[in-house]
Amino acid sequence: MFVRIVKMGFEPSKIDEFLSNFEANKNKIRAFEGCEFLELYRDKHNTNQFFTYSYWNSEADLEQYRHSDLFKAVWAKTKPLFNAKPEAWSVDKVASLK
């Protein structure tokens, strides 16, 4: 299992549109085969900055999602809202404390 982190910056006037799109699709993304966890975070000081954290069983599962009709539809609505190029990292979890 690995973690995918995506940092996204939005035009302030487009944040509600992004949140609406995320709300409409979050359960479909989470239910996608291989996705084990999904969260959305918002920066406390730069409130137009958001981060998604998702856990995937394998890189192949993430790639299958990234080539799916669901991703293409979500991305088509999200991409025009950015005010900066998104950044993404695929990382292995080294430690987790509860």
Q: Which domain holds residue 80?
A: 2-91
The string of pLDDT tens digits covering residues 2-27 is 899 999 999 999 999 999 999 999 99
| Number of structural domains the chain divides into | 1
Residue 1 has pLDDT above 90, yes or no: no
Element (H, E) at 63: helix 59-66
Q: What is the DSSP string of 22-90?
A: HHHHHHHHHHSTTEEEEEEEE-SSSTTEEEEEEEES-HHHHHHHHTSHHHHHHHHHHGGGBSS--EEEE
The string of pLDDT tens digits covering residues 33-73 is 999 999 999 999 999 999 999 999 999 999 999 999 999 99
Is 23 within a domain?
Answer: yes
Report pTM.
0.93
CATH of the domain at 34: 3.30.70.100
